[in-house]
Amino acid sequence: MKRIFSGAQPTGNVHLGNYLGALRNWVALQREYESFFCIVNLHAITLPQDPKILAAKTRELARIYLSVGIDPNISTVFVQSDVAEHTELTWILNCSARMGELERMTQFKDKARKQQEENVSVGYFDYPVLMASDILLYQTNLVPVGEDQKQHLELARDIAIRFNRDYGQTFVVPEPFIPKVGARIMSLADPTKKMSKSDEESEAGCIMLLDDADAVRRKFKRAVTDSGTEIRFDESRRAINNLLTIYHLLTGKSAAEVEAHFSGKGYARLKEDLADVTIGFLKPIQERVRGIDDDKLDAILKQGAEKAEAIARATLKHAKESLGLVGARK
């Protein structure tokens, strides 16, 4: 069976963009692949975090993975900091990655532009190498992510190819899986920007998976729309296209069915229907999140970490041998 690895950061709140761009596909693919889904808390600390909140969000994110349909009996769910090999391989890959490659990462460039570069942590700069380690440790074939992670994926591939060339075949070169529809869900408040949990000012444009019905209604009601009145898929009308994409993915109706449903109707109706569909979709997920008790969660994460560690250890050992990193301990 081929392998999947993917992860999300336990910062802020999980939103519909995370679900439609990534988590939804993890669920859909988990039966065809041996799957590893990680809560990447070491990525989270590249920006300052409140320790109590980070700990709580780590567990909340694990509950969300399980509640959207990740089955712990067939997939491995674990917390990144539980498997020390991730950080050890990062050091090794740091010596293969190039400064120039990391400086070209748009996520880093955006951050460096917003803050002064001297104030961005070294960890933030190095973030894509930790991500490459996550992926390469599991000899991953496929990485299902949203469009914003594409560049990081390409870097992981480049690092794997270079390492294999210089030190012999060690890592599987991973392929990205970026869905044709839903890979870039836009903010409801500003359809030129992606829906994002890190952007605090964009709360209003971001539907969280744990939002209550009132919040969902309010956010859709205030959603920006385009000029014109026709409700149909049209890439050039970003706001409506985004709303229809969400409707299409949540209902499973085809694009033609969605357009037929809204034919002759106005934006107010579109927003109401979207709110109804979203609330109906979120309700059972939220109930499941509340239903997972601490003991059950601990058992799943512990088992996940053990399974992940066994594979990570074998890959790390291979990488160390490839490099000639031999000491007294086997």
Query: How far is it, in rounded angstroms, from Cα 104 to Cα 63?
Result: 35
Helix 255-262 / helix 267-291 crossing angle, nearest 10 deg: 120
Instruction: Name the residue nearer to ligand TYM (CB basis): 135 or 319.
Output: 135
Using CB under 6 A, pick the residue from 64, 68, 77, 183 that binds ligand TYM: 183
Cα–Cα nearest to 138, from 21, 304, 321, 329: 304
Min CB(229)–ligand TYM separation in Å: 26
Cα dist. 193→66, 111, 124, 245, 271 in Å? 29, 15, 22, 15, 19
Cα–Cα nearest to 130, from 255, 5, 300: 5
- What SS3 state is found at 31? coil
Using CB under 6 A, pick the residue from 39, 40, 64, 216 that binds ligand TYM: 40
Tell me which of 57, 111, 219, 271 is the catalytic residue. 111
Residue 194 annotated in active site: yes
Tokens of 255: 């694009």
Q: Is 8 in the site for ligand TYM (CB under 6 A)?
A: yes
Tell me which of 52, 114, 197, 253 is the catalytic residue. 197
Q: Letter for the amino acid at 248?
A: H
Q: Is 143 in the site for ligand TYM (CB under 6 A)?
A: yes
Residue 302 annotated in active site: no
Tell me which of 150, 193, 194, 265 is the catalytic residue. 194
Residue 57 annotated in active site: no
Site for ligand TYM in 194-213 (CB under 6 A): 194-195
Binding-site size for ligand TYM (CB under 6 A) equals 25
Min CB(226)–ligand TYM separation in Å: 19
Alpha-carbon dihedral sign for residues 210, 215, 220, 222: negative
Tokens of 237: 């009308």
Min CB(215)–ligand TYM separation in Å: 18
Using CB under 6 A, pick the residue from 89, 129, 145, 274 that binds ligand TYM: 145
Give catalytic residues, as residue numbers.
Answer: 111, 194, 197
